[in-house]
Structures are given as C-alpha cells and as structure tokens.
Structure 1
Amino acid sequence: MFTVCKPVGKLAKSAAILATAAFLAACEPGGLGGGPSINTSKPVPVALLVPAGSTNSGDESLARSLENAARLAMSDLQNVQIDLRVYDTAGNATTATAVAQQAVADGAKIIIGPVYSQAANAAGLAVLNDNVNVLSFSNNTSIAGGNVFVLGPTFENTANRLVSYAGQQGKTGMVIVHSNDAAGNQGQAAIAGALTNSRINNAGTVGYDRSQQGVINSVPTIKATVDNTGSDSIFMTATTAGALPLLTQLLPETGVSPATVQYIGLTRWDIPAQTLELPGVQGGWFALPDPAKATAYRQRYNNTYGEAPHPISGLAYDGIAAIAALVSQGNSNALSAAALTQNAGFQGVGGIFRLRPNGTNERGLAVATIQNKQVVVIDPAPQSFSGAGF
C-alpha cells in the first residue's frame, strides 16, 4: 500500500449467491505454463501473509480482518478445499522473505499477501525460483510483474474508468491537478496515461506542495490553465485527508465553478462519510466498487464476526475466490500465471476483477457523484469484461 468460516443461517441465501459468483470464471483453453502443479482433488495448500507482529498501529486488527475474510471466502466454497496457513510478516520485508520461504517449504502452492509493497516485493523474490506466484494486497504497481500480482485497486484502473466515462459524457479538455509527492506523481502519471488513450485533450498539469500554502499557491495556476485552454474538467489526485477540502473550497471562490467545470477525483470521495458534507464536492465524480456487492460483503462479515471489516480485507476474500474458481476446473496448472490471468476474470466482493500478465489488475468500477450530500451511482459497475468501461 502507499500508506499503507461459519456461515450464519439467515445469511445462507446471500452466501450461496457469493459462492456462485466466485465460480463464474472458467479457464480459457490453451497452454498453461509455469506455476507449481497441484492435485485439485486434495486440499490446496495456500499461504496467507499478514502484517501481524509489527510495531505499526492497526496492523494487528488488519491482520485479523484479512484472515477472517479469507476464511469467510472458504466457507462459501463448493467442491474445493483449501488448506490455509497463516504467517505473520511483522509488516517488514525481512520477515516477509523468511516466512514466504517457510510457507513454500511447508508446501504452499500460492501466496496471498503481504500488504505493504516492500514486503510483497521481498516475498515474491524469495519464492521466485520456486515458481510460486504471490497475490499481494498492495496497490503499488511498481512492484507488479514476474511472479508478483497486486490485488489492490490501482490508480491506472480508476483513471481509465473515469476518463472513459468523461469522454462518453462529451468532455473535451482535462486539467490534471496533483500533489508533489510519490502518490500524487503516480496518480498524475495514471491520469495522463488514460488521457493518451482517450478522446479528451490533456490540457495541462498543475502540481502543488502538500501544505496549506502550497495548495493556496496552486489555485491561480489551476484557474489560468482552465481559462487558457477552455477545459471543461479537472481531475484531482487529492484525498480527503489531504488537499481535497481546501481545493474544492478555493476553486469555486476563484471562479472555477463546478457548475461549468467538472470536478473528478482519483480517490474515494465517500470515505470518510464526512466528506459528503463538503459543498465543493457536490456534483463531483469518483469511482467505487459495485456498491451492492460491497455492501453485501460488509454485512456478511459483520454478522459473522461481530465487527466491521477492514476496508482492504475484501482483497483476501478475492484471492481465495480466484484460487477456488481456477482449482474447481480440475486443472493441475490452475495456479500458473497463464491461468491466473485468464481474460474472463473473477467475481470478488466489490464486483468483477482480473489479473493482467504485467502483474496489475483491472476491476469493474461504478462511477458515482454526490448529490445533496448523498452518493448517487451514475454509471453502474460492469458485470463482465465485455461490458461498459472495458
């Protein structure tokens, strides 16, 4: 990250729906090279690497939530057995290296996790010669490739979805506004990449230092860029914890009105919920996972474990769902890179997703806006990779 098994009776129907969804994908014909051979008639050894044992506040609860989600997914499986073994990485690369090697020595055929990018990269390198793939919880695409896949939502995925939608709505010119830090620069690159493959003109880029004065200083430049290019949209990398509140306050005051210039966000504008109260975000666009599926997951998790799931815990569910969908086909090469990257993808807790040969992922996202301090979906998440947005 950049910052970062007991079905309930009354939920049997929703559990069955989730279980069925996990098996919608089927392996495509063709050679499936690489990856360890497995016996699909026996429990498949899977290692789950979580950040327990670290000194970072919150890692213990995150580790618990990831394991709970994985076991929730296992409780939904039909005709597939998984032998899940959990290893603590302490949230660091050195321990991740050791436990990844231990997991393979213990028989693991695939690794799910770890969370943090350096640990995920280290785990991948540790088992590269063992031909074992790693489905990490990171969203940092710089570590993707080889035997390492990132399950986390990526800037590229979100940027492509929103730029595509903006083009469909007739937008013609877009200004990119980003923070001058690692996440902001990667976000800017993702938006610029999406624009190169669209009908929308990249009208310019404005960066700002992550300070109140840095944001204030950028506003006249943003206005001048919008005015000089006649742009009809601004794509911001800002987060609620960062510059979003200040930018969306100052831009309208400066004359860049959301009534005439579409505000678009690379991050979730509905988290935390207080963001919805901001006047400047009303009418803005952002992307999010399929709301119905995400809500169903949160309710099942809460009812099963008596607490809310961690926001990224669903990635552990997704990892188990993908593995089970492939193993259910009975192919001994089910966990090879070729199988993992089959185009049909998988159903996860937030909708469809698929892993790409370069180690990144694509997720079917909905486009939402904020109206009267409420989230309103204006373009639903696609239900297959032949649907809208792809």
Structure 2
Amino acid sequence: MQTRDGVTPPHMAGRPIVRVGLLLPFSLRPQDAAALYSAAELALFDHGDQNTLLIPRDAGSTEAEAAAAARALVNDGADIIIGPVLREGVAGAASAVRANNIPVIGFSSDRTVAGNGVYLLSFQLEDEVSRMIAFAASRNLRSIALIAPSNEYGRRVEQTFREVARQNNVAVPAVELYSRSDAEATAAAGRLAATLRANPAQAVMIADSGGPLRAIAGALTRAGVDPRQVRFMGTSAWAGEAQREPSLNGGWYVTTDPAARADYEGRYQTVFSREPTRLSSLAYDAVALASLLSRDSGARGFSRTGLENSDGFMGSDGLFRFRADGALERGLAIMEVRGNAVAPLEAAPRRFPGATG
C-alpha cells in the first residue's frame, strides 16, 4: 500500500511506490557522492523491485541545508531517508523529518546524532577499538599502551580504549598523544618508548595510518621496543598501509569482513569499470536493506522492529545490525600482517550472539 503521495514517474503511475530519499554530498564532495549514488543504483538493481524509487538530493554543507533538503524529500513523498554523510547533515535531516516519523539511515560515525529514528550505517571507531582490545585480552595480553593523534579521532580512541581496557582487566601503562605529522609522531614514539622502559607493556595500539603509522612503528623499533616481544595493533586505518612498514610485521588490526568486501568490490568494478570508494558500500547496504524491508509490506517495513532486527543483516562489509539507540554493531575480523600480505587471525562472525534466525 502506498503510504503517502509524492513524486511519481509516469512509468510508475498506479503502483504502490516505496520512495527512498538519498541525501548525498553532490556539491561538497562530488566524487564521493557519485560513488555513493552508483552504489545505491547497483543495490536497487541487485535487490530492489519495480516499486522502489530512488530520489536523490544534494545534502549541502551545513545542518540547515541538510534540513531543507530533507524537508524537500518529505514533500517528494520519501518513506525513508538515506544519508547524509556528515554529522551536521544527519542532525539537520533528522530534526526536519522527525515529526513525520520518517526513519533516517545516516553515514556519520558520530554516535551523538543517533537514536530517536536515526540509525548510523558507518564504520564506527568505538566498535573497532572494543573488538581489538577484547581480542587481545582473549590472547592473554593484559598490558597495552596507546599512541594516537591529539584530534577528535584520537580522543574517541582513547576514551573507548580506557573503558574497554577496564572492562577486560587490561592495564594501561602509558598513553601518548601527538599533533598529526610524521615528525610529531616520531617524537611521541620516542617518549612512549622511554616510558615503556620503566613500565613495560605487552602490546601497543597505534591508532593512525599513512606516514604517521609508519613513522611510529619505525621509531618505536629503533628505540628498543621489539615487535617480536611487544605486539603492535591498530584499527581499520591500518588496512592497505601496514604491509608497507617492516616493523609492523606480525601486527594485528581490526577490519570489516574482507571476503564480503572483496565480493562487493568485484561486483562494483564489473558494472562500473572503476574501483568503489571506501564509503560507497554504505549506500549499497542502506538501499539493499530498504529494499529488503519493504519487499513484502511496503513502507510499513521501515518500522523499529524491522530496522532493529536482532539477527542483523549481511552486507557488503559483512554482518551488521542496528541497536535500539541507533548505533551500529558490526561483525569484525582480526587480521595479522605477514610480510607483504595480511591474513585473517580471527574471521568475522557470520551471526551475532543471541541471534534467533
């Protein structure tokens, strides 16, 4: 049953249309927006039916612009809104449509904007840190230091790191933060190494990527922190980077399901003859989920019960589910760096604990 009037292309006249609004950064980040929209179209082709209509709009660059775009989607008849990418955009869209009881699946990783009809389909840092520290504790690593940039990313890592370490009875002998540059990262690694000579650790979490990641690993090793004795570990920021630094050989990092991701990337590249961006899979999974939930009951499928199914869903980055507070839970894998390659140390789960399906 069609739930509201709205945009109706001539070829869809008379059908019980499910309208999926897309708020994407067409003006702010056009390349990202193009990849997200391509992924959304691919998901519609793979999983949608003739009654599903995608309605794209520019999310703008501010909370107010996103709110205005969301109100336009309400007028278009949107039954669910997918996007925006930025925290401010998600907040603006949510405030504009909450009175209409239209769910929003945003791509921000900032959990403060989740809940009350807003779900975050993203790569959430807190889950990665929790998975990594819990896994390390299961391998009897009970003393872990942290080195991270002194920005919002680093502060979120540190907060979660300390909380999860306490929950798993893991000692934190040192935390070192730095302004994000290779030189500052190298200096911070030297300070951390000096601290660890007096207060040893079994592992060091290096929460960075690119040049700073390689600079830290190399500096720690030169300062006497032997990676054969002290386990280096990281977040998904290591992916594609860790193999380039010999000091990270044997290190561990957390990532989404690599097999599921490889399948998605192969499918995308076959269709579009280009590689997908990292974020594009979020649009694919959001549209695939909308298609799944609306297949039998139209827009009524976008209920809290449907969206918060405890069994979760299998997506292009593996298993995921939405919690009641709108945050995302993913099934994450632990990878080990082995020379110029990586290999799964613990595979991503295929079902969540307590799942009934």
Rounded to whole Å, the distance in 2 between the matches of 1:193 and 1:174 is 13
Rounded to whole Å, the distance in 1 between the matches of 2:108 and 2:125 is 12
**Relative contact order: is structure 1 or structure 2 higher (C-alpha 8 Å, sep ≥ 6)?**
1
Match among 262, 265, 270 for residue 234 of structure 2? 265
Offset at residue 38 of structure 1 (A) = 8.2
Instruction: Provide the secondary structure at the position in 2 that maps to 1:132.
Output: coil
Offset at residue 85 of structure 1 (A) = 0.6
Aligned to 1:309: 276
Instruction: Give yes or no for the alignment of 1:48 onto 2:22.
Output: yes
Instruction: Give yes or no for the alignment of 1:150 onto 2:120.
Output: yes
Offset at residue 119 of structure 1 (A) = 1.3
After superposition, give the CA deviation of every residue in 1:342-373 in whole Å (9 maximum; x if it has no partner): 21111110111011122210111111111111
Offset at residue 226 of structure 1 (A) = 2.8
Instruction: Provide the secondary structure at the position in 2 that maps to 1:76.
Output: helix
| Cα distance change of structure 1 residues 287 and 189 upon mapping to structure 2, 3 Å threshold | same
Aligned to 1:375: 342
Instruction: Give yes or no for the alignment of 1:247 onto 2:221.
Output: no
| Cα distance change of structure 1 residues 78 and 209 upon mapping to structure 2, 3 Å threshold | closer
Offset at residue 231 of structure 1 (A) = 1.7
Contact 1:333 1:339 in 2 (8 A): no
Instruction: Give yes or no for the alignment of 1:366 onto 2:333.
Output: yes
Rounded to whole Å, the distance in 2 between the matches of 1:313 and 1:368 is 22
The TM-score, its normalising length taken from structure 2, stands at 0.89
The AA in structure 2 aligned to 1:235 is M
Moved more, 196-205 or 161-170: 196-205
Offset at residue 212 of structure 1 (A) = 4.0
Instruction: Give yes or no for the alignment of 1:300 onto 2:274.
Output: no
| Cα distance change of structure 1 residues 262 and 38 upon mapping to structure 2, 3 Å threshold | farther
Instruction: Provide the secondary structure at the position in 2 that maps to 1:201.
Output: coil
The AA in structure 2 aligned to 1:209 is S
The AA in structure 2 aligned to 1:51 is P
Gap runs ≥5 in structure 1: 1-35
Offset at residue 42 of structure 1 (A) = 2.7
Rounded to whole Å, the distance in 2 between the matches of 1:145 and 1:195 is 26
Report the identity percentage.
27
Match among 234, 239, 255 for residue 204 of structure 2? 234
Aligned to 1:13: none
Rounded to whole Å, the distance in 2 between the matches of 1:299 and 1:384 is 24
The AA in structure 2 aligned to 1:179 is P
Aligned to 2:12: none
Gap runs ≥5 in structure 2: 6-14
After superposition, give the CA deviation of every residue in 1:13-52 in whole Å (9 maximum; x if it has no partner): xxxxxxxxxxxxxxxxxxxxxxx9689x933111011111
After superposition, give the CA deviation of every residue in 1:236-271 in whole Å (9 maximum; x if it has no partner): 211215x21110010011111111111111233233
List structure 1 runs of 4+ shifted beyond 6 angstroms.
Answer: 36-39
Offset at residue 135 of structure 1 (A) = 0.7
Aligned length: 345
Moved more, 248-257 or 177-186: 177-186
Contact 1:145 1:358 in 2 (8 A): yes
The TM-score, its normalising length taken from structure 1, stands at 0.82
Aligned to 1:131: 101
Rounded to whole Å, the distance in 1 between the matches of 2:91 and 2:299 is 26
| Cα distance change of structure 1 residues 332 and 302 upon mapping to structure 2, 3 Å threshold | closer
Match among 286, 289, 307 for residue 256 of structure 2? 289
Rounded to whole Å, the distance in 2 between the matches of 1:138 and 1:80 is 30
After superposition, give the CA deviation of every residue in 1:367-388 in whole Å (9 maximum; x if it has no partner): 111111111111111111129x
Rounded to whole Å, the distance in 2 between the matches of 1:92 and 1:359 is 22
